Every structure is written in structure tokens, then in C-alpha cells.
């Protein structure tokens, strides 16, 4: 029993489950746009369960799929599986359990979410192999998180409205952009690997930074478009402006020649961005009601 609990604790540390906050607020934003306010407590709870279980499955599967690459990369060699702190068998079992929880929660929402649950799992798990196939894998990760608001909309309404795809596109570019920046840390390792591809490897560090900036400008353009699409008001507009300020600050504290503050930019600021945007849109919707 103690061995199981230790493995469970190591797994939670490995997948950084607390970073579910990246996509969860955007999923809740999609849910509130669909409901015109807060959905029922039951639907909200099931959306949270779906989000946390899907992300946990994706992270555990990613660590499992990349174990050999992680072992060879000095930056990731201390991760749980290559360091021998966690077995591949336990990581595989954890992934299976999280997938089962996701499908069960999807089934409890409505028939459409149940039908789409295998598609969602293919997307979030399939990302782990995209770096072996294309330099644009960052956008696949963005899409994996970007489907969150659309999925939440379906969870609330049982159907899809194309308007919410504007928010999906914004999240896709936001995540894709900061994943490009994060991948700059592995530039040397990727450059010397014949099996892995990335935007930094293809375009160099300076080129990668410009591509990330372009993606984040695209994200802001879509967030601005979302305002008239859903008739959002001043509070949501202020929230969008604050997101722009935080993104500008994020890009100001890291440079191609200085990646030391990457964790602050990647984890702290992006968490603040997602929560702040959700709060702004939620307040806007509730005030207009």
C-alpha cells in the first residue's frame, strides 16, 4: 500500500496536475458563454472532472512516450520515469484510469460528449508523438487545449456553435506560442536529434521567438473578435487588454539569449492570464444579466 501511495504521489508531481489551471479557466469561459451565466453545479463539476482527467492522462502518457528522449536530455533526465522513481507500468495504468474517468464523466454529461470523448482522447494523447512527425507539433498541443472551450460548450448545450471556435483558435495560438518558447530550452538537444522536430530547431532561437510573438498577436486578435461575436462589454474588454499587457511582459522577461526566467513566464504568467480572462468574461456576463 505504501508503495502504491508513493507511486501515486510521484505521478501527481510528474504530471504537475496543478497546472490544469492553464486550460480549465478557458473551458469554464466556454461553459459560461454557452449558458449565458453559470451552468448547473452538476455540469460544472463534470466539466472540471473531464478537464483534469484528460490533462492528467495526456501528461502521464507524454512522460511514458518520451521516457527514452527524457533520459537522454540533461534537462529532463531527472523526471520520474527516466530517474527510476516511477515504473512505466504504473504510468500506463494511471493513464488508463484517467481515460476511463474522462469517458465516464463525458457519458454523464450528454450523448454528444460521450460520442466525442474518443476523439478528444486521440487528440490529447496523440500530441505526444507529433514532435516525431512535424516541427509544428506546438500547434497540435495548442489544439489539444484549444478544444476545451468548445467541449465545454457541447457539455452545456449538447451541440456546437461555431462562434465558440473563435475562443478555440485563441487558445490554440496562445498555447502554441508559449510552447514554442518553452521548446527553446531544448534547442541544442533537438538540433542534434534526427528523430525530433520543433520550431526552434527549424528556424533557430530568434526565428522561434518571432513565430511565438506572431502566434500571440493572433491570439489577441481573436480575443478582440470574440467581444462583438458574443456582445461582451467593458469588463471583458479590460480583461483582454490586461491579457495583452501580461503577454507583453512575458515576452520582455525572456530572450533568445537569456531563457533563465522561462519558468516564471511559462507557469506563473500563463496561469494568471487564463484565470484573469475567465474572471473578466464571467463578471461581464453576470453583470449584463
* Mean pLDDT computed over every residue of the chain: 90
- pLDDT band, very low/low/confident/very high, at 72 (cuts 50, 70, 90): confident
pLDDT at 239 over 60: yes
d(CA 76, CA 62): 13
- What is the pTM for the complete model shown? 0.92
| For residues 185-191, average pLDDT | 87
Go through the domains of the chain in sequence order and give each one's CATH number: 2-288 (1.10.357.140)
Question: Is there a contact between 109 and 31 (Cβ–Cβ < 8 Å)?
Answer: no
| pLDDT score, position 249 | 92
Per-position b or e across 144-165, b if 16+ CB within 10 A of its CB = bbbbbbbbbbbbbbeeeeeebb
* Model pLDDT for residues 78-110, shown as the tens digit of each residue: 887 888 787 889 889 999 999 999 999 999 999
> Who wins on pLDDT, 190 or 123?
123
| For residues 182-208, average pLDDT | 90
| For residues 205-228, average pLDDT | 97
CA angle 41, 23, 168 (to 5 degrees): 100
- Chain-centroid distance of CA 92 in Å reads 21
pLDDT at 1 over 70: no
pLDDT at 17 over 60: no
Amino acid at each position: 500500500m505504501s508503495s502504491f501511495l508513493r507511486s501515486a504521489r510521484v505521478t501527481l508531481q510528474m504530471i504537475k496536475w496543478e497546472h490544469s489551471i492553464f486550460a480549465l479557466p478557458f473551458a469554464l469561459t466556454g461553459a459560461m458563454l454557452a449558458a449565458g451565466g453559470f451552468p448547473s453545479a452538476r455540469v460544472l463539476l463534470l466539466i472540471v472532472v473531464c478537464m483534469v482527467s484528460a490533462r492528467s492522462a495526456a501528461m502521464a502518457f507524454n512522460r511514458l512516450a518520451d521516457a527514452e528522449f527524457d533520459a537522454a536530455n540533461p534537462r529532463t533526465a531527472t523526471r520520474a520515469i527516466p530517474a527510476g522513481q516511477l515504473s512505466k507500468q504504473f504510468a500506463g495504468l494511471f493513464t488508463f484510469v484517467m481515460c476511463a474517468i474522462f469517458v465516464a464523466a463525458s457519458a454523464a454529461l450528454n450523448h454528444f460528449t460521450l460520442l466525442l470523448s474518443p476523439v478528444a482522447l486521440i487528440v490529447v494523447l496523440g500530441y505526444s508523438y507529433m514532435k516525431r512527425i512535424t516541427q509544428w507539433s506546438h500547434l497540435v498541443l495548442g489544439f489539444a487545449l484549444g478544444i476545451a472551450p468548445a467541449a465545454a460548450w457541447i457539455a452545456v448545450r449538447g451541440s456546437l456553435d461555431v462562434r465558440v471556435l473563435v475562443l478555440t483558435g485563441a487558445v490554440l495560438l496562445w498555447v502554441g506560442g508559449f510552447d514554442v518558447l518553452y521548446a527553446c530550452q531544448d534547442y541544442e538537444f533537438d538540433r542534434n536529434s534526427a528523430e525530433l522536430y520543433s520550431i526552434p530547431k527549424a528556424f533557430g532561437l530568434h526565428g522561434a521567438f518571432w513565430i511565438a510573438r506572431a502566434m500571440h498577436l493572433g491570439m489577441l486578435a481573436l480575443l478582440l473578435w470574440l467581444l462583438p461575436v458574443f456582445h461582451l462589454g467593458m469588463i471583458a474588454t479590460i480583461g483582454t487588454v490586461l491579457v495583452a499587457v501580461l503577454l507583453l511582459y512575458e515576452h520582455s522577461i525572456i530572450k533568445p539569449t537569456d531563457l533563465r526566467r522561462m519558468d516564471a513566464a511559462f507557469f506563473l504568467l500563463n496561469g494568471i492570464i487564463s484565470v484573469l480572462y475567465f474572471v473578466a468574461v464571467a463578471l461581464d456576463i453576470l453583470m449584463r444579466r
